[in-house]
Amino acid sequence: MTQAEIKLCSLLLQEHFGEIVEKIGTHLIKTGSQPLRVIANDTGMSLDQVKKALCVLIQHNLVTYQLQKRGFVEYEAPCSRVLRILRYPRYIYTAKTLYSDMGELIVEELLLNGKMTMSAAVQKVANRLTETMEDGKTMDYGEVSNTFVRLADTHFIQRCPMAPETTETSDAPPPPAPTLAVNEKDMYVVPNLNLIGKGKRRRSFDDEDNGEHKAKRQKQDADSEEPPPDDGIYWQANIDRFHQHFRDQAIVSAVANRMDQTSSEIVRTMLRMSEITTSSNAPYTQPLSSNEIFRSLPAGYNIVKQILDQYLTLLADDPLEFVGKSGDSGGGMYVINLHKALATLATATLESIVQERFGSRCARIFRLLLRKKHLEQKQVEDFAMIPAKEAKDMLYKMLSENFVSLQEIPKTPDHAPSRTFYLYTVNTLSSARMLLHRCYKSVANLIERRQYETKENKRLLEKSQRVEAILASMQATGAEEVQLQEIEEMITAPERQQLENLKRNVNKIDASENQVDETIFVLQSYIESTVRKL
Amino acid sequence: MAGSGKGRGRAAFTFNIEAIGFAKGETLPEVAFKPPPLFPTTDFKPVPLKMGEEEDYMLALKQEFRASMKKMPYFMRKEDENQGIEKYSKKYLQMKKESMEWTPDWRRLPREMKPRKKTKKAGGKTKKAKVATPKSNVDVLKKIEELEKKGDEEKSDEEKEKEKDKEGEEEEEAAAAANEQEEYDEEEHEEENDYIASYFEDGDDFGAGSDDNMDEATY
């Protein structure tokens, strides 16, 4: 973990959990795993505050704990997990595209709360949906829990590791920390719940019916006196599964850009078939025969078997090697080379960054090096067909920015420069690492800039919020148009302009954060997949 | 003169300077003594951001998520220390109560996480830390209020109890679990105290031991 990563973690924690949690979390990220009292001591915060902050972080799966041999508990905050907060909007959006509003709200609630029981999540989502519906209509729990089950079936949400059953009869004191166990079998098994009910609308808290309301609430609560049947079974968003989905999408769209819509549809079908059977970090999908693929093609797609075979041969012959042929049985067995696909995506990202930063001629040199692996300076000048002086200039610029690396091969043991080969090359892995680091830095910079912008205009923002609140309350009581206009004019024209400016800037920065994260995802998946292979 | 100067300069290199792109007689760039500029000029302007429905929706989601995170009970605001006594008005207390509605599932957490000094109800536990300082103030305020409206007192107490009940139930923290917790606690009291004592003793011992060692070593 680098300084840039720590900085970004700290900003993310601060924005989402406040300063106290941020302090504890950042401390843990910096120091690695530590026991409770050391954390309190080192951060100089009260024990109770530290405890609460840790509870929050554990609830959100950002901190894990482990029982040490000597009987104390150590807490650890994995940096990589904290950085995923940046990707939350994309997870929610994906859930929406796959499972519409209900899926969106379920995943959003799970991310907002870290982990939830199914009954609580379903109830909350039903209530929220009911609130957005027209008067008199309500959302049924059954529908929401159906979507929940579908999300679990496709592994987008999973059970949290379970706490052991507490045995109250045993004489021995319980261990200082429960050992959470993952039961592979029920990871995605939804408890058999009979959730009946409808979403409730939040009632307005008017003073007059406060008492009545309370009585009602109490009566309702009395009904649910018993613990929910799925007590203790918590669910969380399965981040790895989401990443797998992002990766598949990227591969499909890459194939579509490279060849055509039909071939991308074939690749999509292959990926969908191996979604559950292949683990999210495998380098290859399971081999699929062309007959199987033919059967699984979406119904509306009428291509004959012969055409499919031609497409598959074409895909397997493509120099990108996204699809590989692994055997001839069953009409030809095909796999998707996931590692190769990720590497290709990352390389394309590198190329495009070089092109945008240094111009197309530099990009030509860069691509040349990628293809020829090792080249001497003279060869670069010749192959790239760029005048020697300019080519040198570009090469040195990329060398100093670490996009290109230099390999010395001495002819004699004294490393004399005149008797040494200097070979230029592109080390994709280290360049990707360097760029990833830069991405983290730029997101941290973006967040800081956004906070600065907001802080500078704090007074104005507060004012506009106040005015809006007044307007809303007056509208509710049915004030006259003139009065409303009068209040609206409390914000002057230049102020309005300033507010608009601010809003535009903040939106732009937020959008940039989201889009940098897409690059982060590509680079990170490539690095992870390569490291796993080594 | 210049030529000889150049000649001397040239001689400092052990290799042919033309190989790295300097023509004969060309002056070498000056040595840089300062760091590169903080905001270097960019040769190429960045491409505009992707725009579209997807991006807009994601942007809205991001901003909404950030805003709702701030309203969650998990968001721990730093207490403003120099807040006057009158700030602890009813409204303030109510706001606080709202953010209290969260009890972690203690079964999933290490036992030391549970606050030691505790009241019987489930809701207040986590908040103990925050209330620690202002508590005296609140007490004073409460006293004053009590004196002010002795008549109303009973009623409000009832209400409070109701609220507490509700809290407990809402957080699907079952009554059974609460009992369990209390049982835990008795043990925990002793245990934790033992643990702490030994912890510090250990520390002291080590400290002393290492000091001794140091002394021996140095003197």
Q: Report the Cα A404 to chain-centroid distance in Å.
A: 30
Mean pLDDT of A489-505: 89
- DSSP code, position B37: P
Contact between A96 and A111 under an 8 Å Cβ cutoff? The reply is no
Q: Please, which residues have CB within 8 angstroms of residue B219's CB and are 6 or more apart in sequence?
A: none
User: Does A438 share its domain with A519?
Assistant: yes
The answer on pLDDT for B31 being more than 70 is: yes
The question of ipTM being above 0.90 is answered as no
CB contact under 8 A, A214 and B162: yes
Tokens linked to A8: 């970004």
Number of structural domains chain A divides into: 4
User: Does A24 share its domain with A52?
Assistant: yes
Distance CA A495, CA A460 (A): 7
Q: Residue A30: its pLDDT value, please?
A: 92
b/e string for A10-24 if b means 16 or more Cβ within 10 A? bbbbbbbbbebbbbb
Q: Model-level pTM greater than 0.80?
A: no
Q: Residue B163: its pLDDT value, please?
A: 53
A377 is a domain residue: yes
User: Does A413 share its domain with A441?
Assistant: no
Q: How far is A480 from chain B (nearest CA, A)?
A: 30
Is the pLDDT higher at A314 or at B32? Answer: A314
A305 is a domain residue: yes
Per-residue pLDDT tens over the stretch A326-373: 888 878 899 999 999 999 999 999 999 999 989 999 999 999 999 999
A144 is a domain residue: no
CB contact under 8 A, A224 and B169: yes
Flag the least confident range among A424-428, A496-500, B17-21, B77-81: B77-81
pLDDT tier at B182 (50, 70, 90 boundaries)? very low
Q: CATH code at A501? A: 1.10.287
A214 is a domain residue: no
Domain, as residue range, for A330: 242-336
Q: Report the Cα B204 to chain-centroid distance in Å.
A: 29
A457 is a domain residue: yes
The answer on pLDDT for A122 being more than 60 is: yes
Q: Residue A226: its pLDDT value, please?
A: 58
The answer on pLDDT for B5 being more than 70 is: no
User: Does A284 share its domain with A367?
Assistant: no
Distance CA A142, CA A119 (A): 11
User: Does A406 share its domain with A438?
Assistant: no
CB count within 10 Å of CB A493 equals 8
pLDDT tier at A519 (50, 70, 90 boundaries)? very high
A219 is a domain residue: no
Task: For residue A159, give the amino acid letter.
Answer: R
Candidates A60, A176, A178; nearest CB to B107: A178
Mean pLDDT of B163-177: 48
Q: CATH code at A32? A: 1.10.10.10
Q: Residue A242: its pLDDT value, please?
A: 93
Contact between A334 and A325 under an 8 Å Cβ cutoff? The reply is yes
Residue of chain B whose alpha carbon sits nearest to that of A58: B109
A137 is a domain residue: no
Contact between A326 and A334 under an 8 Å Cβ cutoff? The reply is yes
Tokens linked to B112: 């030391």
Is the Cα torsion angle A283, A286, A292, A296 positive or negative in sign? Answer: negative
Mean pLDDT of A171-200: 70
Mean pLDDT of A212-231: 51
Q: Does B66 touch chain A (CB under 8 A)?
A: yes
The answer on pLDDT for B217 being more than 70 is: no
Q: Report the Cα A409 to chain-centroid distance in Å.
A: 43
Flag the least confident range among A100-104, A328-332, A420-424, B81-85: B81-85
From chain B, pick out residues whose CB is under 8 angstroms from the CB of A511: 49, 55, 58-59
User: Does A405 share its domain with A454?
Assistant: no
Interchain CB contacts (distance < 8 Å): A and B = 186
Report chain B's C-alpha Rg in angstroms.
34
Distance CA A283, CA A306 (A): 29
User: Does A523 share its domain with A445?
Assistant: yes
Is the pLDDT higher at A401 or at B210? Answer: A401
Residue of chain A whose alpha carbon sits nearest to that of B179: A168
Q: How far is B3 from chain A (nearest CA, A)?
A: 24
pLDDT tier at B21 (50, 70, 90 boundaries)? low
From chain A, pick out residues whose CB is under 8 angstroms from the CB of B132: 46, 48
Per-residue pLDDT tens over the stretch B53-111: 899 999 999 999 999 888 888 887 766 544 444 444 444 444 544 555 677 777 778 87
CB contact under 8 A, B105 and A54: no
Flag the least confident range among A454-463, A475-484, A508-517, B51-60: A475-484
Residue of chain B whose alpha carbon sits nearest to that of A160: B108
Tell me which residues of chain B, numbers 160 to 179, contact chain A at a CB-CB cutoff of 8 Å.
162, 165-166, 169-170, 172, 174-177
H-only helix segments in A161-289: 210-223, 239-258, 261-273
Q: Please, which residues have CB within 8 angstroms of residue A140's CB and are 6 or more apart in sequence?
A: A126, A197, A198, A199
User: Does A301 share its domain with A381?
Assistant: no
Is the pLDDT higher at A301 or at A19? Answer: A19
